[in-house]
A and B are shown apart, each in its own frame.
Chain A
């Protein structure tokens, strides 16, 4: 099982790759929409990539809880642990 730190880095790296930014510029507290500039469509595209990266499916009902990078990391941590 991935450690929290590994997983957090993987999430930030996936974001950095999608946004074509340096991974060090992406902070856990960053809000996907307000801080990272994602809109409703690009947020979903990011999650599409994360689903593939972590081999999980994110149900529609879980989307509203994924506001910040840290939210996404915590969510994936739960899902990966459950798996």
Chain B
């Protein structure tokens, strides 16, 4: 990874549209990254595997006593052999659900990577924006069992509610980091942590924080949730015997997404704050848009116009023209409808540029990590800008003519990336786009 130091003046004058006055607003930069993924714990392991195009998807092994043949889908992007005590000492990490443990481990790495000495920061100027789609599903299943099967409601563990709540992770991050600033958990299913990045930037731009920990996590590969996605006919079922081939965005033979789990954390900081401490800057978070299609709880609008609108809004917010975009980290879950709609939207926004922009699908490597997906995609955007390398889209060996674009490749692409777009869409008709830029003074 290349690393360069922040230099130059802090602020720039920004016109925010005819209805708003020009204002000096802090720019937001990414100064630290942390990953817990099916491709490894740690950014280095993750990125090396991603560059090499390795799959993190394997035969499902998480359900110890369940007859796996009863599940239509039998593959998942699991984080194997994870023990939080290996990474974090102390009782707090042991007393939270697996998804929050993932968030804590990713955040510990990201803080260390940023070089921040959090004990020297004003704690009220350090915030947390956390995306989580499902929350503490592991503890939820365990305790449902006690109540409904064992009929022992008085034997539900006392620490159940503090673990199952969606904001348990953002609370644990605040306690771990001593972060007393704005602390919000965003739950918009699969787009949750893309919003976490966008809202972290907005907190910094609004002057409410100097540093915001933007994180996303989910660990819901548990029988009930998995069965629920199976029942929804959302998961891949035809590659149960060849797991690494199951997540195949944009491929003609894609047949649903692969469930994943993990966490990603980005340290976002005002440029001024990063410069003062001479921090390394991966990229700038330059724009963000959040919309809702108001259309359907699960299925996107087939014409892709609302997704196109979301991307256009984010580009305007970043003051970037479509022709300046070099790379799109697509939502691309490998579902038959979703991938086509996203490409339709990309064609609509980018016109001729759609044939030149590089596009990849991180879910081809990890499966769909739900609430972590946006943060992990944001990390990929930062690393892609930093390294000038676009990781392969796995299994793009039989392109669907309705999705095919020249910028999608089963091989790694080396090219400089000045502007990157992150797309993330969630159940409930929810859309998010985040724009990253190479940091230039």
User: Which A residues have a C-beta under 8 Å from some C-beta of B?
Assistant: 41, 44-45, 48, 51-52, 57
Contacts and interface: CB of A to CB of B under 8 A. Distances in A.
A48 B157 CA distance: 7
Contacts of B157: 45, 48
A45 B156 CA distance: 10
Contacts of A51: 154
B158 A45 contact: yes
A57 B159 contact: no
Contacts of A52: 155
Contacts, number: 13
Interface of B: 154-155, 157-159, 162
Given A41-B159, A41-B162, A52-B155, 6 more contacts: A41-B158, A44-B158, A45-B158, A45-B159, A48-B157, A48-B158
A52 B156 CA distance: 12
Contacts of B162: 41
A57 B158 contact: no
Nearest to A44: B158
Interface of chain A, helix or strand or loop or mixed? helix
A79 to B, nearest CB: 15
6 contacts: A41-B158, A45-B158, A48-B158, A51-B154, A52-B155, A57-B154
Contacts of A41: 158-159, 162
Highest count of chain A CB atoms <10 Å: which of B154, B155, B158: B158
A52 B158 CA distance: 13
B158 to A, nearest CB: 4
Contacts of A45: 157-159
A14 to B, nearest CB: 15
B328 to A, nearest CB: 45
A33 to B, nearest CB: 15
A51 B156 CA distance: 12
Contacts of A44: 158
A70 B155 CA distance: 24
Nearest to A45: B158
A44 B162 CA distance: 13
A57 B402 CA distance: 63
Nearest to A20: B91
A48 B143 CA distance: 14
Nearest to B162: A41
Contacts of A57: 154
A57 B162 CA distance: 22
Nearest to A46: B158
Highest count of chain B CB atoms <10 Å: which of A48, A51, A52: A48
B136 to A, nearest CB: 16
Contacts of B159: 41, 45
A47 B105 CA distance: 30
A12 B325 CA distance: 65
B84 to A, nearest CB: 15
3 A-B pairs closest in CB distance: A44-B158, A45-B158, A48-B158
B155 to A, nearest CB: 7
Contacts of B155: 48, 52
Nearest to A19: B91
Nearest to A40: B158
A57 B157 CA distance: 14
B66 to A, nearest CB: 26
A4 B262 CA distance: 49
A53 to B, nearest CB: 13
A48 B155 CA distance: 8
A41 B95 CA distance: 11
B165 to A, nearest CB: 14
Contacts of B154: 51, 57
Contacts of B158: 41, 44-45, 48
A3 to B, nearest CB: 28
B50 to A, nearest CB: 38
B217 to A, nearest CB: 22
A72 to B, nearest CB: 16
Nearest to A48: B158
A48 to B, nearest CB: 5
A41 B157 CA distance: 11
Nearest to B156: A48
A41 B162 CA distance: 10
A51 B153 CA distance: 13
A76 B157 CA distance: 20
A73 to B, nearest CB: 21
A57 B158 CA distance: 14
Contacts of A48: 155, 157-158
A64 to B, nearest CB: 17
A51 B159 CA distance: 15
A16 B159 CA distance: 19
B91 to A, nearest CB: 9
